[in-house]
Chain A
Amino acid sequence: MSQEWVYTLVFLAWLLGASLFVVGLHFMNSPATARRGNQISATGMTIAVVATLVYLASQGALSPTALAIIVVGFVIGGGVGLWLARTVAMTAMPQLVSLFNAVGGGAAALVAIDDYLRVLGTAEETVSTAVFVVLGVVIGCVTFTGSLIASGKLQGIVSGKPILVPGGRLVTIALAAIAVLGFIGLVFGAGGAIALDETAKLVVLGIVIAAALVFGVTMVLPIGGADMPVVISLLNSFTGTAAAMAGFVINNPVLIVSGALVGAAGGILTKLMADAMNRSLMNIIAGGFGGGEGTVAEAGPGGTVRELTVDDAAIQLAYANLVIIVPGYGLAVAQAQHALRELADVLEARGVEVKYAIHPVAGRMPGHMNVLLAEANVPYPQLKEMDEINPEFERADVALVVGANDVTNPAARRPGTPISGMPILDVDKAKSIIVIKRSMGRGYAGIDNELYTNPKTGMLFADAKKGLTELTAAVKAL
């Protein structure tokens, strides 16, 4: 076969791979087909990778060294990825996704840097190459360090609280200015409008890389842990864009299409998440309210809190017709999803109808709670989204709130509070409410939850896992 035919076939294979990514994402619309969607997408990836190797082999471009780099690199990187993906706890999923996102961004930046070094000083060093190289490098580097910090915050290696350094904003702005100046320098340098020799260009590129890496850190550090899901989603979108830029640099269609897809996907997802939390992206990036982990505060003025014993709570639950469970972040932290399912099983065995009310941002990421509950084998049809479950609270005998806080606060319906306008679960409309919580600590919004002082509410002060286990035992004993 002639070279041209080989390239045509390889190009078609790349196109097929990219199409399978689109189809795969489409199948992820529904829980029933989502897993197949991911497998289709993985098939697309395999096709794209194999086609690339076939193409290079047919060109005689795979030197023993290159082949060794690819094989050894794949075994090491793939092995570490596989091991992490298999072993990490379900609750640690968001930080793992962030870590994978970091290395993806790093790889995109490296591809762009490498190509720039190759074309530097040749006829291929055009204005357009310089534009895409610098964009790829900047976005990739920001994503790399930003995602590492985000992952560290969720893992607890870096403090979840917003870290504010005096003048930190100025540093961030200065870094952005440096990156923009470097961009202008390299682009005009490539066009010949600014006379820069190769060494000067390399120095400028080095400065741009350093500025972007530090920018990633200073951008994410001041943002509180509560906003991390949105930040990770945003950085995920950045990585897609960086991959597309790298695709422009090395003139590869499959990188461009896939990167653009992910860039758009991450963008939409970021907006959906920010909307669900009633935050604007600008607010989050500017580091607004919210100090991460709840601070312990006694019940504020404006009501008394009724404390329940485990036995009281068990009786209420056991003799209810409909119990709606509202799981939140505290459940995820305590890894209490299995204990929760056991309680639900015991209740169901007694003929109690059990449903789960899932707020769009319950857990640490939208959909995270569904994953945790699915891991504990909670049947998917019992998981109800906010709009679906809210009308049912009036009918519920007991709403059992486990580790959820701000998303149940009726104060959100009034204007003038930090959470005003945030969509909430209508927990206060249930006939009675049981809240399992470690203390009267506040949620991310840093305000008292009016639900706790509602006369219908009983507080069961316990760690989610311990409280649920005790409740299960108490219901069984009835």
Chain B
Amino acid sequence: MNQDLLFAIAIFVLAVLVGFEVISKVPATLHTPLMSGANSIHGIVFVGGILIAAAADSPLSYVLAFVAVVFGAMNVVGGYVVTDRMLQMFRRRPSAPAQSEGARSGSGGSAQ
């Protein structure tokens, strides 16, 4: 095997270990947003779609690249927006319970 491939395998393994560590600390309450967040990260295949679009040289590969770009873009854009929509709602309202209606139109929901 060539050197590049060995290095690539090394970073793959290390990234897997980082993934285990980062995830194992997340509380259960955030699991759905987390799944959605991780889902948007694998939207990185959009970059793969861009690269094969640039390398495409036949009608078939143009079609494959186009579908890959569409799919990847949908994964990335939809994934991040939907995750943000979920997380936007994790915010505390002011301590007085009576204020419940006021908090609804809160300032874009910056979490405290």
Contacts and interface: CB of A to CB of B under 8 A. Distances in A.
Q: Do A and B come from one complex?
A: yes
Interface of A: 18, 21-22, 24-26, 28-39, 41-42, 45, 48-49, 52-53, 56, 61-63, 65-66, 69-70, 72-74, 76-82, 84-86, 88, 90, 93-94, 96-97, 100-101, 103-104, 106-108, 110-111, 113-115, 117-118, 128, 232-233, 236, 239-240, 242-244, 246-248, 250-269, 272-273, 276, 341, 345, 348-349, 358, 360, 363, 365-368, 370-371, 374-375, 377, 379-381, 383, 385
A238 B62 CA distance: 26
Contacts of A31: 27, 29-30, 90, 111
Given A77-B73, A377-B104, A110 B67 contact: yes
A375 B87 CA distance: 10
A365 B31 CA distance: 8
Nearest to B73: A77
7 contacts: A18-B15, A34-B30, A82-B81, A85-B82, A114-B56, A366-B32, A370-B32
A117 B78 contact: no
Contacts of A33: 111
A273 B31 contact: yes
Given A77-B69, A78-B77, A94-B32, A259 B44 contact: yes
A28 B15 contact: no
Given A69-B65, A250-B51, A367 B29 contact: yes
A56 B40 CA distance: 23
A370 B75 CA distance: 23
Contacts of A366: 28, 31-32
A52 B50 contact: yes
B90 A101 contact: no
Secondary structure at chain B's binding surface: helix, strand, loop or mixed?
A: helix
A45 B80 contact: yes
Interface in B28-69: 28-58, 60-62, 64-69
**Residue from B5, B47, B49 having most chain A Cβ neighbours under 10 A:** B47
Nearest to B79: A100
**Residue from B35, B73, B75, B98 having most chain A Cβ neighbours under 10 A:** B35
A368 B32 contact: yes
Contact of B11 (A80, A253, A265): A253
Interface string B66-108: 1111111111111111111111111111000110100110000
B30 A100 contact: no
B75 A85 contact: no
B86 A371 contact: yes
Contacts of B31: 269, 272-273, 360, 365-367
Nearest to A359: B28
Contacts of B68: 73, 106-107, 110-111, 114
B10 to A, nearest CB: 10
Contact of A38 (B23, B35, B83, B104): B83
B92 to A, nearest CB: 6
B34 A367 contact: yes
Contacts of B49: 70, 73, 107, 110-111
